[in-house]
Structure 1
């Protein structure tokens, strides 16, 4: 799945004619249908046609889905687009999928952990960092001050976390 990026998820059926409720994870949410056929983890491919905006997402038609029961059966399914179909990003922006799994080091080179997830609760992105031997994760603000360097080629992030954020 390294050559694919999750761009949305099916939240269930919408109506009785086979439309689905679609959550878009794209920067421009309505563009989810523009990335060509989207695939599931299992490899099923769908052509997506967004029909209209609805509360918390979009109503959409998927190729091969023509009944409410078929749409209901897809609830929770993630949809992936080929990485090369997505727009190129500026130097200081990253796809969340590229950050997950990166090693996190402090400015002295000591290991702080590994990125498990990227969250956004409104103010800024937060990197969920897990270190072996610890019971819980740490949420590191994904700002230029706290994360001055992201090196995708080397698979690491250099962090300058606020004092006391990481346990000793």
Structure 2
């Protein structure tokens, strides 16, 4: 993100009628999300949360210097899909040979042969595994690949690149067949 904020969690559906919400935390320890204190949304509003039970929290918005809790189901419903960020500086530095997934966005994607493929534009993680979306230099629909050691054997954040070794099912298809799959909505 250009403003150096990192997505840390997303508010889900309401839980009950007293303003509790389900929260999807992207921290290594999901409970640690509450430790960051000032979580911001895209509009710059500041929130904090206090866990009520596993995955369920009470959300409080900082408004005019006061803490205003989300107090009822209607207010909780209005928070559904609210994305919560922290400034990059609030996160600990990555260890050597480690990186944050957000560090991958903007990296050059190269084939094992050295051919330039494009640029990583999005990192998807829907719970079943992380995938990378690559805007192809040649244009056309983006390439979406699983983010595994087999498919992405090299991640060089300092060098500004990743090396991609697409699955054989995709790599072995002629270009026109790949385009047909993509035009039909199939993801390689």
TM-score range, shorter chain: 0.7 to 0.9
The structure carrying a bigger helix percent of its residues is 2
**Aligned twin of 1:3:** 4
Structure number with larger C-alpha Rg: 2
Instruction: Number of aligned residue pairs: give it.
Output: 165
Say whether 1:15 aligns with 2:13. no
Q: Structure 1 140/93 Cα, relative in aligned 2: closer, same or farther at 3 Å? A: farther
List gaps (5 residues or longer) in structure 2: 62-67, 176-188
**Aligned twin of 1:71:** 76
Matches of 2:145 and 2:81 in 1, distance apart? 28
TM-score (norm: length of structure 1): 0.80
Contact residue 108 and residue 119 of structure 2 kept, 8 A: yes
Q: Structure 1 123/75 Cα, relative in aligned 2: closer, same or farther at 3 Å? A: closer
- For residues 75-101 of structure 1, the C-alpha deviation after alignment (integer angstroms, 9 at most, x for no partner) is 111000122222333334332222123
List gaps (5 residues or longer) in structure 1: none
Q: Provide the aligned C-alpha RMSD in A.
A: 2.6
TM-score (norm: length of structure 2): 0.72
Matches of 2:134 and 2:119 in 1, distance apart? 5
Say whether 1:61 aligns with 2:59. yes
